[in-house]
Structure 1
């Protein structure tokens, strides 16, 4: 167990959140007293839940309107009981507990989580809010499910009230698992199953334009150079070829300027730490202070770039600066990745396709029925069919005369 105290000299700047949790993780701190946070009581819960999600905390707002001290600790590592609180101190009793394990909460919750989870009657906002708040407080996320969407019905109302919820530890260990809502058989609830198996290998990833590329100083130059290229073909074909050229140029720019963002951030942090070590003995070296300032700006820049990439790739709209530190974020990220992968498919006859070959055949057959098979001849556009001359085509666009209206 590691205990720490830290006078943070203000905790209202969001950039500090990420670095605070990074230090907590790096030093493997289990309990910390944060002094001089300068955060009002109204905002305390919101900030603490973002900075150290899942941690418990104690404060002394009762002795001071603005508060001076937070005690933050990991509930899976220790149990903290507050004995006495004053304006300048918090006296606690600390007991160690066992570590945190994967957690699965699965079954009939008798409550919907979203408006679309019910068909046939209105969903009350209060009930959704209560369920959502519980998941928020416990850091639970819903496991991906396939099969029947509505898991209960009385033949008038259809509800999705049977689901599987997991904690971040589960999601980080086994992101590939999913729940299958099967037939209800003799019950009015669907059978909910999770199959434990190894993850399947994935194919190549498609190119995705990342928004941070548009902020690079040479971005418009790349666009102009590629768009002015002399390409041949029909107007639509030329547009397509220009986009193909742009794709290659953007891939090159991304590789050259933004590759390995995840490794650049630790490198800058290490350089910053080295500079600050030197400043312990070289107080008057202005070059070191200048370098320290450059590294801080660079660190902030690459953190923003990294989180912009993550927000776009995984479409996590709630992501804010510092959220990528949390286990809940990584669980959400892995959940999003799994949502984009098809590991099982329920066929029209109810049979579950599980292997990659079976899934491919099922998808191809579905679209063959939807769009039709490939045909060697399409009579409506055969060259032998009668074609209008240019003058006949032009006549169809000629405005009608007054005589024609009579």
Structure 2
């Protein structure tokens, strides 16, 4: 199932109709969200009925500002839980998956109204429980790096958005495609733009859809790029994974010996890189092993030893338990390094780095 969200900046123009029909034919989304349609009433219903979806709901624009249309078709069903000028809260039901919450968002250009959006969309107020995703045009960025020649950037407004994301326990789902989702005056040398559109989810939702990914589609007939959210990700060929040096290897005493044994000073650098790569790959399989499997084996052995010692003390078992405890501590540290390296996170929020945050970010990066 795929979702497409687009700030079309007007749904009645001929160029918009052509672009929208093209994207519906190519990407075939099950759920479609349109923002700033600038159409209401009978004309809006007529447009929705011609798009090929079985159901839809609309939040009317206030004058010519805002407006949210959400359309969907089988095999999903959307239950409307709450409507708001800047978002709609749904419960999404589809066979084979637990229900999850979805909130398509159009953030107001006015900062004081966006602050009301953060407040009204918070879990403590609306109470979305379990997996949920929020996506659309937030009209906000998290940092200056998400802008280009964007004179409207404000560190205070950015921090309000970032604080809300952190308070709600949401993670950015990342993206593939152009870095900017909104671009103004793209025909001139002074390109101005920002990443105003994005998708966020909580850890429970990420666990339900570990392969989900977001694509920034090409901008057509609007200043905004459509977001395509693929819940199952793209089908990827079963290629051999590229070599990646693992930081956890540095904790093993045999690593220098493996590199020294495979390095040959009489050959070229390229040949040595190949030799060391092959040597480390084989050593990882035969000696270092799978950290997760080793952790489970150590836990099982410790459990067996501790059950045995309850039937009678034994000095040999006591010494073995101490060694296994030490090995388990090393293994847990290696696992921590493994997840931290995969997450590529720049900061640590808690003392225990092996948290759900890093597992989720690693999943996002993989997608």
TM range (shorter): 0.5 to 0.7
**Residue 212 of structure 1 is aligned with which of 237, 248, 269?**
248
**Distance (whole Å) between structure 2 residues aligned to residue 175 and residue 299 of structure 1:** 28
Alignment partner, residue 162 of structure 1: 197
SS of 2:136's partner is strand
TM-score (norm 2): 0.55
Residue 269 of structure 1 corresponds to 299
Equivalent pair of 1:304/1:321 in contact (CA under 8 Å) = no
Q: 1:336 and 1:285, CA in 2 relative to 1: closer, same or farther beyond 3 A? A: same
Aligned ranges 1:134-153 → 2 under 5 Å = 134-152=164-182
Secondary structure at 1:158's aligned position in 2?
A: strand
Structure 1 pair 261–197 and aligned structure 2 pair: CA distance change class (3 A): closer
- Structure 2 CA distance for aligned equivalents of residues 125 and 268 of structure 1: 49
- Which of 259, 262, 268 is residue 226 of structure 1 equivalent to? 262
1:128 Cα deviation (Å)?
2.5
Listed as ranges, the matches of 1:17-166 within 5 Å are: 101-120=130-149, 121=151, 123-152=153-182, 155=185, 158-166=193-201
CA distance in 2: counterparts of 1:215 and 1:193, whole angstroms: 42
- Quickly say closer, same or farther: Cα 1:107–1:225, change in 2 above 3 A: closer
Change (3 A) 1:325 1:280: farther
Q: Secondary structure at the match of 1:274?
A: helix
Gaps of 5+ in 1: 1-75, 77-97, 232-237, 339-406
Richer in strand (by share)? 2
User: Secondary structure, in 3 states, of the residue corresponding to 1:139?
Assistant: coil
Q: Could you say if the C-alpha distance between residues 290 and 127 of structure 1 is closer, same or farther in structure 2, counting changes exceeding 3 Å?
A: farther
Change in Cα spacing, 1:265 to 1:100, as seen in structure 2 (3 Å) is farther
Give the unaligned 5+ runs of structure 2: 1-99, 101-126, 186-190
Aligned mates of 2:183, 2:263 — CA distance in 1: 57
How many Å apart are 1:200 and its aligned residue? 0.8
Cα deviation, 1:14-67, whole Å, max 9, x if unaligned, reads xxxxxxxxxxxxxxxxxxxxxxxxxxxxxxxxxxxxxxxxxxxxxxxxxxxxxx
Report the count of equivalent residues: 234
Q: Check conservation: 1:104, 1:167, Cα contact below 8 A.
A: yes
The offset of 1:264, in angstroms, is: 0.8
**What is aligned with 1:303?**
332
Mapped partners of 1:180, 1:108: distance in 2: 14
TM-score (norm 1): 0.50
1:289 aligns with 2:329: no
User: Mean Cα displacement is larger for which, 296-305 or 251-260?
Assistant: 251-260
Is the contact between residue 113 and residue 128 of structure 1 (CA under 8 Å) also seen in structure 2?
yes
In 1: Cα distance, 2:277 partner to 2:177 partner: 37
Residue range with higher mean Cα deviation, 146-155 or 296-305: 146-155
Which one of the candidate residues 191, 215, 218 is aligned to 1:180? Answer: 215
Deviation at 1:135, TM superposition (A): 1.9
Q: Deviations over 1:295-353 (max 9, x none)?
A: 21111101111222333344234467744342x33221111112xxxxxxxxxxxxxxx
